[in-house]
């Protein structure tokens, strides 16, 4: 994601690497490079200029911390300003006492229909059923496309005739807490499209009015967004196709120019490929600081509420670990999840990543006493030998599992204090 931008920013900042002394002239040269890199990534020129200005101002105003090298210092400012540019994070705002209504608009091909299904799945995974609504009178095929995707996500889908019954009523009857409306688009903004959308909007009275924009269009997305905003008063945007070689211009300029937050990123063609935009995480990706947050989030997705309270206190026992392994098991392809834990993957040889490895892992934990599961500190060498015998595995495997557990425990601790968010 935004690989080229990341690489070029890395180069620009890299000039300061290895420097022991803060040299204002060198920092100035670095900032000049950063501005060029941003422009090259198709960031709006004013956004690029203001961004660099803010970093420059901090460099002149703030005393650099003695514990940081000049490189780290500038990296920190750039990181914090990137986070500020992208954030603050704004989750969807939906009412609690009636079905929430989300309205998707945007140009043809931006990814509205796909995104409608992705959002539906996003809610379904959090235990809330969504009703998908195809509001496109002109192209009957548009409704079919949505219906097919809805089928994949296991969600109900209706056409505009649903408006007759009343969308909220229908949603209630179908047991849906959210309604996601997919609308028609054109290749360009035109009056007829806007008028049609305004009519739908007035009928539906949505809680969220989201513009779906294609990241590949770069800053061209901005005037289009302004036009939609003027007619429809957007509450946010979803940036699609952000996974590929999109340059990053739209992502970085969008909020500063339109005033609207980007709430989600579309990161692939499959309906699973949607992630909430987390400013810190995206900034880290762009600056190449690794993607710890992404892992934490996946872990969070499979954490149950009653566990969450304990985890919030930083407690994560082997029993929790076993529960999570079981849930991972139910979630399907394990290889993918293991990939999220690079160190774990290193700890577990490739042949054991599958179903069998998981069963052995569960057998090991099952062979422990409840006491041991709650307090792994007890697991001395003789206990480990007993567990290996009991589970039909080896001490080596028991050790490996405990290392994996510690790794996950560490990850879980980094998510302390973070509540669940849509």
Binding site residues, ligand GDP, CB under 6 A: 106, 108-114, 185, 212, 240-241, 243-244, 266-269, 273
Partner from ligand GDP, Mg ion, none binding residue 241, C-beta < 5-8 Å depending on class: ligand GDP
The nearer residue to Mg ion, 113 or 253, going by C-beta atoms, is 113
Integer Cα distance of 121 and 44 in angstroms: 33
Taking CA 84 as the corner, what is the angle to CA 82 and CA 86, rounded to the nearest 5 degrees? Answer: 70
Residues paired with 264 in a beta bridge: 238, 276
The nearer residue to ligand GDP, 273 or 372, going by C-beta atoms, is 273
The nearer residue to ligand GDP, 268 or 390, going by C-beta atoms, is 268
Integer Cα distance of 198 and 139 in angstroms: 18
Angle between helices 381-391 and 355-366 (to 10 degrees): 120
Q: Tell the smallest beta-carbon distance from residue 275 to Mg ion (Å).
A: 21
Taking CA 143 as the corner, what is the angle to CA 141 and CA 144, rounded to the nearest 5 degrees? Answer: 65
Contact 130, 155 (CB under 8 A): yes
Q: Tell the smallest beta-carbon distance from residue 197 to Mg ion (Å).
A: 13
Closest CA to 411 of 334, 303, 280: 303
Partner from ligand GDP, Mg ion, none binding residue 236, C-beta < 5-8 Å depending on class: none
CA dihedral (25, 30, 36, 39) positive or negative: negative
Q: Where does this chain touch Mg ion (CB under 5 A) — which range of 136-144, 237-245, 256-264, 339-347?
A: 136-144
Residue 113 touching Mg ion (CB under 5 A): yes
Q: Where does this chain touch Mg ion (CB under 5 A) — which range of 57-65, 142-150, 193-201, 320-328?
A: 142-150
The nearer residue to ligand GDP, 100 or 185, going by C-beta atoms, is 185
- Which tokens belong to 182? 């997919």
- Which tokens belong to 324? 């999570």
The nearer residue to ligand GDP, 136 or 207, going by C-beta atoms, is 136
Q: Tell the smallest beta-carbon distance from residue 2 to ligand GDP (Å).
A: 14
The nearer residue to ligand GDP, 11 or 269, going by C-beta atoms, is 269
Partner from Mg ion, ligand GDP, none binding residue 269, C-beta < 5-8 Å depending on class: ligand GDP
Closest CA to 217 of 342, 79, 353, 106: 106
Q: Tell the smallest beta-carbon distance from residue 235 to ligand GDP (Å).
A: 18
For residue 188, give Cα distances in angstroms to 43, 107, 110, 184.
Answer: 21, 6, 11, 12
Closest CA to 179 of 187, 171, 191, 188: 171
**Stated length of the chain:** 422
Q: Tell the smallest beta-carbon distance from residue 113 to Mg ion (Å).
A: 3
Q: Tell the smallest beta-carbon distance from residue 112 to Mg ion (Å).
A: 5
Q: Tell the smallest beta-carbon distance from residue 133 to ligand GDP (Å).
A: 13
Residue nearest to ligand GDP (CB): 266
CB burial of residue 25 (10 Å; 0-12, 13-18, 19+): exposed
Residues paired with 211 in a beta bridge: 105, 237
Report the site for Mg ion in 333-352 (rule: CB under 5 A): none
Integer Cα distance of 75 and 94 in angstroms: 37
Q: Tell the smallest beta-carbon distance from residue 184 to ligand GDP (Å).
A: 8
The nearer residue to ligand GDP, 62 or 144, going by C-beta atoms, is 144
Residue 115 touching Mg ion (CB under 5 A): no
The nearer residue to Mg ion, 44 or 112, going by C-beta atoms, is 112
Integer Cα distance of 278 and 415 in angstroms: 13
The nearer residue to ligand GDP, 240 or 393, going by C-beta atoms, is 240
CA dihedral (108, 114, 115, 120) positive or negative: positive
Per-residue contact string for residues 56-95; x = within reach of Mg ion by CB under 5 A: ----------------------------------------
Q: Tell the smallest beta-carbon distance from residue 252 to ligand GDP (Å).
A: 18
Partner from ligand GDP, Mg ion, none binding residue 90, C-beta < 5-8 Å depending on class: none
- Which tokens belong to 289? 């600081």
Give me the residues that bind Mg ion (CB under 5 A), please. 112-113, 142
């Amino acid at each position: 994601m935004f690989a080229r931008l990341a690489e070029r920013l890395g180069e620009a900042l890299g000039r300061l690497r290895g420097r022991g002394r803060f040299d204002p002239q060198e920092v100035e040269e670095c900032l000049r490079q950063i501005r060029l890199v941003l422009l090259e990534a198709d960031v709006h020129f004013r956004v690029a200029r203001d961004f660099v200005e803010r970093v420059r101002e901090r460099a002149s105003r703030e005393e650099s911390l003695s514990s940081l090298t000049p490189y780290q210092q500038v990296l920190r400012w750039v990181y914090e300003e990137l986070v500020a540019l992208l954030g603050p994070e704004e989750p969807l705002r939906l009412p609690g006492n009636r079905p929430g209504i989300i309205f998707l608009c945007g140009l043809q091909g931006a990814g509205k229909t796909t995104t409608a299904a992705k959002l539906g799945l996003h809610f379904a995974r959090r235990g809330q059923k969504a009703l998908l609504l195809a509001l496109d009178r002109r192209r009957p095929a548009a409704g079919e496309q949505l219906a097919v995707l809805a089928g994949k996500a296991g969600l109900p889908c209706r056409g505009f005739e649903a408006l007759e019954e009343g969308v909220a009523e229908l949603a209630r009857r179908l047991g849906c807490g959210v309604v996601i409306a997919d609308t028609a688009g054109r290749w360009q903004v035109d009056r007829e499209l806007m008028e049609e959308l305004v009519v739908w909007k007035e009928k539906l009275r949505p809680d969220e009015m989201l513009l779906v924009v294609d990241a590949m269009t770069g800053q061209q997305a901005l005037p289009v967004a302004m036009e939609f905003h003027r007619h429809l008063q957007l509450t946010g945007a979803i940036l699609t196709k952000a996974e590929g070689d999109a340059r990053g211009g739209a992502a970085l300029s969008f909020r500063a120019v339109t005033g609207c937050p980007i709430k989600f990123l579309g990161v692939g063609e499959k309906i699973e490929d949607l992630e909430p935009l987390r400013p810190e995480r995206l900034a880290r990706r762009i600056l190449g600081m690794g993607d710890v947050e992404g892992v934490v989030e996946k872990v969070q997705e499979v954490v149950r509420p009653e566990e969450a309270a304990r985890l919030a206190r930083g407690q994560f026992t082997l029993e929790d670990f076993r529960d999570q392994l079981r849930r991972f098991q139910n979630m399907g392809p394990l290889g993918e999840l293991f990939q999220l834990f690079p160190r774990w993957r290193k700890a577990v040889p490739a042949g054991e990543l599958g179903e069998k490895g998981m069963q052995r892992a569960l057998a090991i934990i099952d062979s422990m006493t409840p006491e041991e599961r709650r307090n792994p500190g007890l697991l001395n060498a003789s206990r480990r030998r007993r567990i290996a015998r009991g589970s039909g595995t080896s001490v080596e495997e028991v050790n490996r599992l405990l290392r994996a557990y510690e790794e996950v425990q560490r990850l879980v601790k980094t998510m302390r204090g973070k509540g669940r968010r849509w």
